[in-house]
Structure 1
C-alpha cells in the first residue's frame, strides 16, 4: 500500500490538492482511497460528492471516506463501560448513555489515527491519500503514536508484568494498591494499536506531500514543516506550489505577484522537488476542475531518511551521528543527553530518540550544524568501551 500524507499551511488548498492527488492516482489505474479529516465536508465539496462515515464512490477506482470522531468516541466509551461493568457496579456508578456522549479534546486525533491504520491495512486499495490537518496540527498528530507509546512504557513497563502473582503480596507489604491486571492489559492493547499506526507512518512506502502558496508566508511555513518532518524521520516526496498565477497574464497589476511567485519557486527548487498547480480563478469544484490542476499522482518513493553513525575513531577518535535537519537554525537547536536517550529540540519541535547501541557507551563531545545536517560527536567512555587486547 502506498500512503501519501498531504498537509500544508491553513488555507493553502491542501484538501483540494489531496482530492486532486487521489483522483490522479485513480486515473493512473490504482484502487485509491482518500481519507478526509475536516469536521465540515470540504473533501466532498472538492470532489462533488457528499462524504461521511460510510465510504462513497467518488470516481472510477476512487473511494472517499471521512470518519466520524463522535461516533467512534461513543462506541469506545460504551465498550469501556462494558469491560469495567463490575467495578462500576461496586462503586454504584450510573452508566452513560451513548446519546449523551460528546467527544472530548483529542478524540478526533485518535479517531483519525485509527482510520489511518485501518485504511492502510485494508486489502481493498492500492493507494491511500490522507488529507491531514494544517501543518502544525499534522506534525503533532504524526508524533502522537511514538510519544504515547513512550509514555506507556515509562508508566507501565512491560517487564513489571512478570510479577503478576506477587502483586497482592507486594500491595500488602507496601501498604499501597498495586496496578490491576486490567490496567496492564489495556496498556498492552493500546501499545499494539499505536505500534500499528506508527508502522504505517514509518513505512518505506509512506511519504508526506507538502502544499503551500509560493510567497513569503508560504516559504516560512514550508521551512518549518520540512524541519518538523525531518526531525521525525519522515520523507517529503514533492512540494506542490498551489494557486500559481500565469506568467503571461495580460493584467499589469499581476506583474508584482507573478514576479514574487517566480522568485519563491526558484528558491524552493534548490531544496525540493517542486510541482505547480495553476490558479483556476475560482475554487476548484468537481472532477473536471481537479483534473485541470494536473497534480502528480503516485510518485516513486524517495530514499529512506537515514540517520547514519560515521566511524571516525581511527582518524579523530570520535563517532559522528548525522541527523538531517533541513531548514534548521543554529540558535534554535538544543541537545540534552538523558541516559540512553537524546532529547533533540529544533525550533518549536522536540523529539526524544534512543541512542544507537554503539553510542550508548560514549559521551557527547560536541555538535555542529552544517548545510542542513546536525552532526553530533561522541567519544568512547573508557569505563564502558571494550579495551584492545
Structure 2
C-alpha cells in the first residue's frame, strides 16, 4: 500500500491537492482511500459528492464517538479508585472531545487503512504544518513516554501492588493499567509503521511567495529531522505567464522568484496553475493536473564516518540531513544513549547508533544543509587498545 500525506501552510489548498491526487490515482485504476482531518466536509465539497469516481472512497474523521467510548471505559476500569476519591461519575452524553482527539483519530485511520488491506493508495489531507508534523511524530513520542512511565518489566509494580492496596483500602488498578498501556503500544506501533513505511511520502503544498517559501523551508527541516520523505513540492495557484494587469504581473514576478529558488533547492517541484476560481468537482480537479503519488524517493542516509588524527585518535561524525535548518535555531543535548536534536520548533529524541554509544560528543556544525555531530571515544567506556 502506498500512502501520500499532504500538508502545507494554512490556506494553501491542501484539501484540493489531496482530492486531485486521489482522483488521479483512482482514474489510473488504483483502489484509493482519501482521508480528511477537517471537521467540516471540505473534502466532500471539493470532490463534488461521494460519487466522484467508483474507485475512490472518502473518509471524514469523527473522533467524538471513539473519544467518548475510551473515556467511559477508563471510568469503568477505575471505578473503585474514583469512588475512594469521592468523584462523581461522568455521563456519556455530557462528554465532548478534548484537544488532541482529532490527532489520535487520524492515527487510528492510518492504522485501520493499513489493516484493511482494501486499498492500493491512501491519500491523507493532514492539518497545516507544523501541526501535521506534530501528529506524525506523536506515535514515536507517546511510545517513548509509555516505556518510561509504564515499562513492560512489571516486577516492581507486582511487588508493590498488595502494599498499595492495603494502604488505600481498595484494589489498585496496576494490572489493567499495564494492559491498557500494552494495547496503546500496539496501536501506536501500527500507526508508526505506516508513517515510517518506505512507501509513505509527504507532499508539501504552498503558494509561491515569501510566506510560502518560509513555510516550505521550515517544513522541509521538520520532515528531514523525523526521517520523512517528500515526493514533491507542489507550487499551487500559479498565475498566468503574461498579464496586462500590472498588479497581477507583479504578483507573478514574485511567484517566479520563489519558483526559481524552489527548483534550485528541492529535487522535484511541480507547478499547478490557478483556475481563476475555487476547484469544485472531478472536472476541475482533473484540470489542475495534480499527479498521483510517485515512486517513493530513496531514503536519506544518516551515515557515521570515521577519521584518524595524526596522534592516532579516532573521531566519528554522524551526518544528519537538515535542509533549510538555521544554525542559530539548532540545539543538541546528550541523554544517555540518545541525542535530543532541536531545529527551530521541531525536536526529536534520536537513538544513537551503536558505534557512538561509547563516545562523547566533541562538537557539531551545520554545513550544506547537513548537521554533522562529532564524537570521540570515551576512555572510561572504550579504553584505547580494544
Q: TM-score range by the shorter chain?
A: over 0.9
2:192 pairs with 1:195: no
1:200-246 Cα shifts (integer Å, max 9, x gaps): 11111100000000000000011011111111111111011000011
Q: Report how far residue 322 of structure 1 moved.
A: 0.5
User: When the two structures are aligned, how many residues end up with a matched partner?
Assistant: 382
Give the TM-score normalised by structure 1. 0.92
Structure 1 unaligned blocks of 5 or more = 50-55
Query: What is residue 28 of structure 1 aligned with on the other side?
Result: 28
Q: What is the alpha-carbon root mean square deviation over aligned residues? A: 2.3
Distance between the aligned counterparts of 2:96 and 2:276, measured in 1?
A: 40
Q: Distance in 2 between matches of 1:210 and 1:340?
A: 33
TM-score under structure 2 normalisation? 0.93
Mean Cα displacement is larger for which, 1-10 or 247-256?
247-256
Deviation at 1:144, TM superposition (A): 1.1
Alignment match, 1:9: 9
Q: What is the CA–CA distance in structure 2 between the aligned matches of 1:386 and 1:190, rounded to whole Å? A: 42
Counterparts of residues 70-89 of structure 1 (less than 5 Å): 70-84=64-78
1:45 equivalent in alignment to 2:45: yes
1:312/1:373 CA distance change after superposition, 3 Å = same
What CA distance in whole angstroms lies between the structure 2 residues aligned with 1:71 and 1:178? 28
Hey, what does 2:129 align to over in structure 1? 135
Q: Give 1:253 shift.
A: 3.2
Contact 1:57 1:64 survives alignment (8 Å): no
- 1:166 correspondence with 2:159: yes
Retained in 1: the 8 A contact 2:161–2:174?
A: no
Structure 2 segments unaligned to the other structure (5+ residues): none
Deviations 1:133-185 (A, max 9, x none): 001211111111111111111111222x1345423466489999977111111
Deviation at 1:386, TM superposition (A): 5.6
Q: Distance in 2 between matches of 1:305 and 1:178?
A: 47
Alpha-carbon distance change, 251 to 60 in structure 1, aligned in 2, over 3 angstroms: farther
Residue 313 to residue 190, structure 1, CA distance change in 2 (3 Å): farther
* Runs of 4+ residues over 6 Å off in structure 1: 89-92, 172-179
**What secondary structure does 1:299 align onto?**
coil
1:328 counterpart residue number: 325
| Counterpart-to-counterpart distance in 1, 2:79 and 2:348 | 39
**Equivalent residue for 1:301, pick from 271, 276, 296:** 296
Stretch of structure 1 that moved more, 237-246 or 82-91: 82-91
1:242-298 deviation digits (Å, cap 9, x = unpaired): 000111334343221111111111100112210011100010000110000001102
